[in-house]
């Protein structure tokens, strides 16, 4: 922090330099401030602190424009108080990306820019202790075991040309603690020093262990390699599950790094803990991994490494897209169809689409990979906006797993209501007998969907939301999956005092059933209730890969990107959960989920089998997933979207108006809808609504939505953005805009 010189507190008389800043708050306008000469020269992208409001509260902001002298004619400007960095934190391409995100996703610019930089950036660099040999002749025989072992390790490292190693590494490899090293320092044998932390080159896998790309992979690599260094291009890499997309990424990234440039690889949040990624990281040059498990300081450290050229590759979730690579050569978005790329709070950007925009701005290629591309990306490929590259076969000639769709109603065993039907039970038993592993998907948290009274119809509901509480076994409580509110399970119906019943199945109930049916199986449950930290996630996956577990039971987090050769059977307990959601993407999500989870089977020596349980086996999403028929699914679903005028046939902007008072929200929505119809109707925008949201009341707020279906991208935003501030002030209810929404609850 560089303080302002004028200690008498008086702002300069006349401002010769004026900057336009975006404050990190829900303010839609930019504000002008005088730039004190004492702060040096201003620059776009610089972080500053400015006095804001009547109390002149110091507020973080970004300089977005340095005004020329004739633009700067305004007087009486408050002065910028502090500079937070010496150099602009966001360079020009990221500033332009931030401006695009702010406008396209209808978010205030200051908030958007702030979301692009880790909060702790600018804090002093982390230090680490390093150990090196002094060169003094060691009398090894005179040393104790621990000191001896440490010296051996250092001497061995030095023979390999490594003169300095970190204390942490020495501790890891020789078991020497700091005390041991200090003793060696006293003997004059080693030196202990501090230096700023630097990234280690993790490329360790010897060439012999390198997977050899097959013909398909080589063709894909060649096709994309041709585009490197030749400006913007977008490629949709459609490779079936197990076709080796990761190998294609590795080869392309190495190519880019060899040419002296940096690469960004985006993966869904969940995949960051997977062993696929761990393996991948060891095969790449200096990697900065950015994920949610990092502390603020660690995140800031990697961020700075990328900016200063200390990292060649950035691997991370959504926000890794904003890595300040100054010399970018390639962006890859793995599993591009994943919903977790969409941020669900402002700025509500989609990292895949923002990645394409960054590639446009930086004039570099972008690769979108998936076994089940989103219909948006498929449509873009059909339109010629993306090039399509395919990997139609699995590696090593592995067959696609065989899917068996079973009708749950015919699976009941002796009339008993059970969710693991006859076929699936039998196949799990067989897999366990053969010492093979099983992945079981149950896409619903909790034990039972709701608690109700059979005699009077009372349902245990959330007091803050218009939804039933989901019964959780461990806590014996009802839990709201929308607002996290919980309530004790009453002993009897509070309305009529009769006995209460549990209705519906959740993953915890499946867990009970599995344990009852297979008492000797080692089972781990993996859902957001049990996986509260990335470490837990990694631990369970580690156990499963070491075959210390037989059955991995999970919500959709087990469907994604896992690669365990021991898995021969995958079960989908109920394929209907995601179909039941009233959303135009329900079929697409169901198809993707089944195909993705099926892809976890048969990656090793034994061919995989998949059992999909459903009450609606004739449903196209399920029928087509049975034969991994992506083309067939797209051929049915894409025309349907055109008939209904839903994305990708149109571009959707969703506006939600919410208020504690239902009629206030409804009236505000009605007024706004009328206004929008008048203004946008002529521009090819269909205004639907207002209508109550899928979940009418959430967190004590009643919600009404207006859906805007536009023929062209950006039409709605162009009209709406300049009016957002005025609208949010004028409307009685709170206004939330979501562009290209994925969740329509």
Partner DNA sequence: AGCACGCCGACT
Partner DNA sequence: GTCGGCGTGCTC
Cβ of residue 583: shortest distance to DNA, in angstroms? Answer: 26
Given 4, 12, 25, 477, the residue binding DNA (CB under 7 A): 25
CA–CA distance, 629 with 623 (Å, rounded to integer): 9
Cβ of residue 661: shortest distance to DNA, in angstroms? Answer: 11
Q: Which of 338/659 has CB closer to DNA?
A: 659
Q: Which of 70/215 has CB closer to DNA?
A: 70
Given 4, 12, 27, 310, the residue binding DNA (CB under 7 A): 27
Which residues within the stretch 43-102 sit at the binding site for DNA (CB under 7 A)?
50-55, 57, 74, 77-78
Given 17, 22, 33, 733, the residue binding DNA (CB under 7 A): 33
CA angle 379, 653, 385 (to 5 degrees): 25
Cβ of residue 34: shortest distance to DNA, in angstroms? Answer: 7
State the number of CA atoms in the 13 A half-sphere of 690 facing the CB: 26
Cβ of residue 744: shortest distance to DNA, in angstroms? Answer: 21
Q: Which of 74/230 has CB closer to DNA?
A: 74
Longest dimension (CA), the chain: 91
Is residue 729 at the binding interface for DNA, with CB under 7 A as the rule? Answer: yes
Is residue 700 at the binding interface for DNA, with CB under 7 A as the rule? Answer: no
Is residue 32 at the binding interface for DNA, with CB under 7 A as the rule? Answer: yes
DSSP result, 416-454: B--SS-HHHHHHHHHHHHTT-EEEEE----SSBSEEE-T
The CB-based long-range contact list for 169-177 (8 Å cut-off, 24+ gap) reads: 170/131, 174/149, 174/150, 175/146, 175/149, 176/146, 176/147, 176/149, 176/150, 177/146
Cβ of residue 432: shortest distance to DNA, in angstroms? Answer: 52
Q: Which of these segments, 30-38, 62-70, 374-382, 633-641, binds DNA (CB under 7 A)?
A: 30-38
Cβ of residue 26: shortest distance to DNA, in angstroms? Answer: 3
Q: Which of 10/546 has CB closer to DNA?
A: 10
Q: Which of these segments, 19-27, 360-368, 396-404, 682-690, binds DNA (CB under 7 A)?
A: 19-27
Q: Which of 52/313 has CB closer to DNA?
A: 52
Cβ of residue 236: shortest distance to DNA, in angstroms? Answer: 36
Q: In what order do the strands lie in the sheet with 164-166?
A: 164-166, 127-133, 190-196
Cβ of residue 108: shortest distance to DNA, in angstroms? Answer: 8
Q: Which of 463/660 has CB closer to DNA?
A: 660
Q: Which of these segments, 2-10, 23-31, 416-424, 690-698, binds DNA (CB under 7 A)?
A: 23-31
Q: Which of 323/346 has CB closer to DNA?
A: 346
Q: Which of these segments, 29-37, 127-135, 529-537, 610-618, binds DNA (CB under 7 A)?
A: 29-37
The residue to which tokens 């803990």 are assigned:
273
Q: Which of 25/132 has CB closer to DNA?
A: 25
The site for DNA, by CB under 7 A, has a size of 19
341: nearest Cα among 371, 317, 374, 312: 317
What's 552-614 look like in SS3? EEECHHHCCCCCCCCEEEEEECCCCCCCCCCCCCHHHHHHHHHHHHHCCCCCCCCCCEEEEEE
CA–CA distance, 479 with 487 (Å, rounded to integer): 7
303: nearest Cα among 55, 121, 512: 121
Q: In what order do the strands lie in the sheet with 470-472?
A: 470-472, 477-479, 486-488
Is residue 186 at the binding interface for DNA, with CB under 7 A as the rule? Answer: no
- What are 318's two structure tokens? 């959504």
Given 3, 16, 26, 86, the residue binding DNA (CB under 7 A): 26
- What are 232's two structure tokens? 């913007």
Count of positions (residues) in the chain:
745
CA–CA distance, 487 with 480 (Å, rounded to integer): 9
Q: Are 46 and 83 in contact (CB under 8 A)?
A: yes
Which residues within the stretch 212-231 sit at the binding site for DNA (CB under 7 A)?
none
Is residue 659 at the binding interface for DNA, with CB under 7 A as the rule? Answer: no
Q: Which of these segments, 20-28, 41-49, 331-339, 619-627, binds DNA (CB under 7 A)?
A: 20-28
Cβ of residue 31: shortest distance to DNA, in angstroms? Answer: 4
Q: Which of 120/294 has CB closer to DNA?
A: 120
3-state helix, strand, coil in the chain (%, to 5): 35, 25, 40
657: nearest Cα among 673, 676, 677, 681: 673
Whether the link from the prior residue into 89 is cis, omega within 30° of 0, is: no
Q: Which of 11/293 has CB closer to DNA?
A: 11
Is residue 725 at the binding interface for DNA, with CB under 7 A as the rule? Answer: yes
Q: How many CB atoms lie within 10 A of CB 192?
A: 14
- What are 143's two structure tokens? 């040393």
Q: Are 45 and 5 in contact (CB under 8 A)?
A: no
Cβ of residue 244: shortest distance to DNA, in angstroms? Answer: 45
Cβ of residue 732: shortest distance to DNA, in angstroms? Answer: 8
Q: Which of 32/740 has CB closer to DNA?
A: 32
Q: Which of 675/734 has CB closer to DNA?
A: 734
CA–CA distance, 57 with 392 (Å, rounded to integer): 59
Cβ of residue 64: shortest distance to DNA, in angstroms? Answer: 12
Cβ of residue 729: shortest distance to DNA, in angstroms? Answer: 6
Q: Which of these segments, 21-29, 82-90, 616-624, 645-653, binds DNA (CB under 7 A)?
A: 21-29
Given 16, 29, 326, 413, the residue binding DNA (CB under 7 A): 29
List b or e across 658-682, with b for residues whose CB sees 16 or more CB atoms inside 10 angstroms.
bbeebebbbbbbebbbeebeeebee
Q: Which of 295/345 has CB closer to DNA?
A: 345
Mapping DSSP to helix (H, G, I), strand (E, B) and coil, where does residue 385 land?
coil
Which residues within the stretch 668-697 sit at the binding site for DNA (CB under 7 A)?
none
CA angle 331, 335, 339 (to 5 degrees): 110
Cβ of residue 38: shortest distance to DNA, in angstroms? Answer: 17
Q: Which of these segments, 26-34, 234-242, 309-317, 691-699, binds DNA (CB under 7 A)?
A: 26-34
Q: Which of these segments, 25-33, 353-361, 458-466, 554-562, binds DNA (CB under 7 A)?
A: 25-33
Q: Which helix (DSSP H) or strand (DSSP E) does residue 114 occupy? A: helix 109-115
Q: Which of these segments, 22-30, 320-328, 529-537, 626-634, binds DNA (CB under 7 A)?
A: 22-30
CA–CA distance, 38 with 555 (Å, rounded to integer): 57
Cβ of residue 477: shortest distance to DNA, in angstroms? Answer: 29
Q: Are 39 and 19 in contact (CB under 8 A)?
A: no
Mapping DSSP to helix (H, G, I), strand (E, B) and coil, where does residue 278 land?
helix
What mask of x and - would describe binding to DNA in positions 311 to 330, judged by CB under 7 A? Answer: --------------------
Cβ of residue 60: shortest distance to DNA, in angstroms? Answer: 10
Cβ neighbours of residue 9 closer than 8 Å, sequence gap 6 or more = none
Q: Which of 52/469 has CB closer to DNA?
A: 52
Q: Which of 120/636 has CB closer to DNA?
A: 120
Q: Which of 23/570 has CB closer to DNA?
A: 23
CA–CA distance, 286 with 315 (Å, rounded to integer): 11
Cβ of residue 29: shortest distance to DNA, in angstroms? Answer: 6
Q: Which of 296/615 has CB closer to DNA?
A: 296
CA–CA distance, 171 with 190 (Å, rounded to integer): 14
Q: Which of 404/732 has CB closer to DNA?
A: 732
Q: How many CB atoms lie within 10 A of CB 125?
A: 14
CA–CA distance, 294 with 617 (Å, rounded to integer): 43
Residue ranges that bind DNA, judged by CB under 7 A: 25-27, 29, 31-33, 50-55, 57, 74, 77-78, 725, 729
């Amino acid at each position: 922090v560089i303080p302002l010189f004028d200690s008498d507190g008086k702002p300069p008389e006349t401002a010769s330099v004026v900057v336009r800043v975006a404050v990190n708050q829900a303010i839609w306008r930019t504000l002008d401030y005088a730039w004190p000469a004492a702060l040096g020269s201003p620059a776009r992208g610089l972080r500053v602190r400015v006095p804001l409001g009547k109390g002149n509260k110091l507020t973080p902001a970004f300089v977005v424009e340095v005004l020329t002298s004739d633009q700067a004619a305004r007087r009486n400007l408050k002065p910028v108080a502090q500079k937070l960095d010496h150099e602009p934190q966001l360079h020009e391409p990221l500033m332009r990306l931030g401006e695009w995100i702010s406008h396209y996703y209808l978010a205030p610019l200051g908030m958007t820019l702030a979301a692009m930089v880790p909060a702790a950036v600018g804090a002093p660099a982390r230090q680490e202790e390093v150990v090196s040999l002094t060169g003094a002749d060691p009398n090894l025989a005179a040393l104790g075991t621990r000191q001896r072992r440490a010296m051996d390790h250092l001497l061995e490292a030095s023979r390999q040309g490594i003169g300095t190693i970190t204390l942490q590494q020495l501790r890891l490899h020789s078991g020497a603690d700091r005390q041991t090293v200090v003793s060696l320092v006293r003997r004059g044998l080693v030196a202990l020093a501090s230096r700023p932390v630097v990234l280690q080159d993790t490329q360790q896998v010897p060439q012999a262990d390198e997977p050899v790309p097959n013909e398909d992979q080589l063709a894909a690599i060649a096709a994309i390699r041709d585009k490197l260094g030749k400006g913007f291009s977008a490629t949709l890499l459609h490779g079936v599950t197990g076709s080796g997309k990761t190998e294609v990424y590795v080869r392309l990234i190495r190519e880019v790094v060899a040419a002296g440039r940096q690469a960004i690889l985006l993966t869904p949040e969940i995949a960051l803990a997977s062993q696929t990624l761990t393996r991948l990281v060891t095969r790449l040059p200096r990697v900065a991994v950015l994920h949610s498990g990092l502390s603020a300081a660690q995140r800031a450290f990697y961020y700075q490494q990328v900016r200063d050229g200390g990292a060649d590759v950035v691997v991370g979730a959504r926000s890794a897209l904003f890595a300040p690579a100054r010399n970018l050569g390639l962006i890859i978005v793995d599993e591009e169809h994943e919903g977790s790329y969409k941020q669900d709070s402002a700025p509500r950007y989609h990292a895949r689409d923002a990645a394409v925009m960054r590639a446009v701005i930086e004039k570099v290629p972008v690769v979108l990979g998936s076994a089940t591309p989103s219909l948006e990306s498929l449509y873009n490929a059909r339109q010629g906006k993306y090039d399509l590259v395919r990997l139609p076969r699995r590696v090593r000639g592995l067959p696609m797993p065989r899917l068996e769709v079973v009708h749950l109603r015919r699976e009941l065993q002796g009339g008993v209501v059970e969710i693991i039907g006859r076929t699936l039970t039998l196949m799990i038993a067989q897999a366990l007998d053969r010492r093979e592993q099983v992945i079981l998907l149950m896409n619903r948290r909790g034990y039972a969907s709701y608690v109700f009274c059979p005699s009077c119809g009372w349902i245990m509901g959330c007091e803050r939301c218009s939804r039933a509480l989901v019964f959780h076994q461990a806590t014996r409580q009802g839990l709201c999956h929308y607002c996290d509110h919980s309530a004790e399970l009453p002993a009897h119906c509070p309305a009529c005092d009769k006995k209460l019943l549990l209705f519906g199945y959740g993953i915890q109930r499946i867990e009970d059933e599995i344990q009852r049916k297979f008492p000797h199986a080692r089972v781990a449950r993996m859902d957001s209730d049990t996986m509260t930290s990335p470490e837990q996630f990694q631990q369970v996956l580690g156990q499963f890969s070491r075959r210390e577990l037989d059955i991995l039971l999970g919500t959709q987090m087990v469907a994604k990107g896992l690669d365990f050769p021991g898995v021969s059977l995958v079960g989908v307990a109920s394929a209907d959960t995601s179909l039941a959601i009233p959303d135009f993407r329900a079929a697409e999500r169901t198809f993707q989920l089944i195909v993705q989870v099926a892809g976890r089977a048969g990656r090793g020596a034994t061919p995989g089998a998949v059992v999909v349980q459903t009450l609606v086996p004739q449903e196209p999403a399920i029928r087509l997933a049975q034969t991994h028929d992506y083309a067939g699914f797209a051929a049915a679903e894409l025309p349907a979207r055109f008939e209904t005028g839903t994305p990708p046939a149109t571009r959707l902007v969703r506006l939600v108006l919410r208020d504690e008072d239902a009629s206030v929200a409804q009236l505000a929505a009605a007024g706004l809808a009328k206004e929008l119809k008048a203004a946008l109707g002529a521009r090819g925008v269909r205004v639907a609504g207002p209508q109550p949201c899928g979940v009418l009341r959430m967190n004590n707020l009643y919600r009404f939505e207006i859906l805007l279906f536009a023929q062209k991208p950006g039409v709605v935003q162009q009209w709406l953005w300049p009016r957002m501030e005025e609208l949010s002030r004028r409307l009685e209810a709170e206004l939330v805009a979501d562009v290209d929404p994925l969740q329509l609850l």
